[in-house]
Amino acid sequence: MNPAKNYDDAIHNQSYEARYLTKRITNESMIYDAGRTKESLNGYWSFGIDQYDTCLRARWFEENYVDKDGRYNPMDFSFDEWEKMPVPSCWNVQKEKYFLYEGSAVYTRTFLYQNHGEERVYIKFGAVNYDAKVFLNKEYLGCHKGGSTPFYVEVTGLLKEQNRILVVANNTRNKDHVPTDNTDWFNYGGIYRDVEIIRLPATFIKDFTIALVPDGGFDKIRIGLAIEGAEKNGTANLKIGGLSIDHTVEIRDGLGSAVIEVRPELWSPDNPKLYEASIEFGEDIIREKIGFREIRVDGQEILLNGKPIYLKGISAHEESVKNGKAVSDAEIVENIKLAKEMNCNYMRLAHYPHTERAAQIADEMGILLWEEIPVYWSINFQNQKTYRDAENQLTELIRRDRNRASVIVWAVGNENPDTDARVAFMSALARKAKELDPTRLVSAACMLDHVNHMIDDRLADELDIIGANEYYGWYQPNFDNLVKLFENSKPIKPVIITEFGADAKAGHRGTVDEKGTEDCQHEIYRKQVEVFNRIPYVKGTSPWILYDFRCPRRLHPITQNYYNTKGLLSEDKSYKKLAFYVMQHFYEGR
Ligand code: GCB
Place 504 in a pLDDT band, splitting at 50, 70 and 90.
very high
Q: Which of 314, 416, 499 to mutate to test the pocket of ligand 1 (most atoms within 8 A of CB)?
A: 499
Cβ proximity of 212 and 292 under 8 Å: yes
What integer is the mean pLDDT of 168-192?
A: 98
- Residues 462 and 6: their CA atoms lie apart, in Å, by 54
Q: What letter represents residue 89's amino acid?
A: S
- Residues 10 and 7: their CA atoms lie apart, in Å, by 5
Quick: pLDDT tens for 403-459: 999 999 999 999 999 999 999 999 999 999 999 999 999 999 998 999 999 999 999
The alpha carbon of 453 and the centre of ligand 1 are apart by a number of angstroms equal to: 19
The alpha carbon of 546 and the centre of ligand 1 are apart by a number of angstroms equal to: 13
pLDDT over 70 (residue 12): no
Q: How buried is residue 560: exposed, middle or buried, by Cβ count under 10 Å (0-12/13-18/19+)?
A: middle
Residues in contact with 18: Cβ distance below 8 Å, sequence separation at least 6, in sequence order = none
Handedness of CA 457, 178, 128, 23 (dihedral sign): positive
Cis peptide before 179 (omega within 30 of 0): yes
- Residues 338 and 353: their CA atoms lie apart, in Å, by 20
Task: Please count the other Cβ atoms lying within 10 Å of the Cβ belonging to residue 380.
Answer: 19
At 67 the pLDDT is 72
At 7 the pLDDT is 46
Provide the pairing of β-strand 162-170 with 131-136. Answer: antiparallel
Give, in degrees to the nearest 5, the angle at Cα 494 between 491 and 495.
80
Q: Which residue CA neighbors atom 3 of ligand 1 most closely?
A: 184
Handedness of CA 11, 13, 14, 17 (dihedral sign): positive
Place 13 in a pLDDT band, splitting at 50, 70 and 90.
low
Quick: pLDDT tens for 94-149: 999 999 999 999 999 999 999 999 999 999 999 999 999 999 999 999 999 999 99
Q: Which residue CA neighbors atom 13 of ligand 1 most closely?
A: 184
Atom of ligand 1 nearest to the CA of 566: 12
Residues in the chain: 590
- Residues 73 and 58: their CA atoms lie apart, in Å, by 7
Average model confidence (pLDDT) across the chain: 95
In the chain, where the domains are located: 3-200, 215-293, 304-588
Cβ proximity of 34 and 402 under 8 Å: no
User: What is the distance, to the nearest Å, from the Cα of residue 215 to the centroid of all Cα atoms in its chain?
Assistant: 28
Q: Which of 415, 515, 555 to mutate to test the pocket of ligand 1 (most atoms within 8 A of CB)?
A: 415
pLDDT over 80 (residue 68): no
- Residues 83 and 103: their CA atoms lie apart, in Å, by 18
CATH number among 2.60.40.1930, 3.40.950.10, 2.60.40.10, 2.40.110.10, domain 215-293: 2.60.40.10
Q: Which residue CA neighbors atom 9 of ligand 1 most closely?
A: 184
Percent of the chain exceeding pLDDT 90 equals: 93
The alpha carbon of 470 and the centre of ligand 1 are apart by a number of angstroms equal to: 10
The alpha carbon of 501 and the centre of ligand 1 are apart by a number of angstroms equal to: 9
**CATH level 3 topology of 3-200:** Jelly Rolls (2.60.120)
Task: Check if the interface score ipTM surpasses 0.95.
Answer: yes
Give the single-character DSSP code of 584.
H
Q: Which of 553, 444, 451, 453 is nearest to 503 (CA)?
A: 553
- Residues 445 and 373: their CA atoms lie apart, in Å, by 11
At 5 the pLDDT is 46
At 567 the pLDDT is 98
pLDDT over 50 (residue 47): yes
Residues in contact with 113: Cβ distance below 8 Å, sequence separation at least 6, in sequence order = 159, 160, 161, 163, 197
Within 6 A (CB) of ligand 1 lie: 184, 351, 414-415, 469, 499, 544, 564, 566
The string of DSSP codes covering 145-208 is E-SSS-EEEE-TTT--SEEEEEEEEE----TTSSS-S--SS----EE-S-EEEEEE-SSEEEEE
Quick: pLDDT tens for 548-569: 999 999 999 999 999 999 999 9
The two domains 215-293 and 304-588 share their CATH topology (first three levels equal) = no
Q: Which of 393, 369, 389 is nearest to 443 (CA)?
A: 369
Q: Which residue CA neighbors atom 7 of ligand 1 most closely?
A: 469
The alpha carbon of 184 and the centre of ligand 1 are apart by a number of angstroms equal to: 6
What integer is the mean pLDDT of 164-181?
A: 98
Atom of ligand 1 nearest to the CA of 499: 7
pLDDT over 90 (residue 264): yes
CATH number among 3.30.43.10, 3.20.20.70, 3.20.20.80, 3.40.50.300, domain 304-588: 3.20.20.80
At 4 the pLDDT is 44
The alpha carbon of 145 and the centre of ligand 1 are apart by a number of angstroms equal to: 24
pLDDT over 90 (residue 71): no
pTM tops 0.95: yes
Place 6 in a pLDDT band, splitting at 50, 70 and 90.
very low
Give, in degrees to the nearest 5, the angle at Cα 507 between 506 and 509.
115
What integer is the mean pLDDT of 320-344?
A: 98
Atom of ligand 1 nearest to the CA of 415: 8
The alpha carbon of 539 and the centre of ligand 1 are apart by a number of angstroms equal to: 21
- Residues 346 and 359: their CA atoms lie apart, in Å, by 12
Place 3 in a pLDDT band, splitting at 50, 70 and 90.
very low
Cβ proximity of 362 and 404 under 8 Å: yes
At 347 the pLDDT is 99
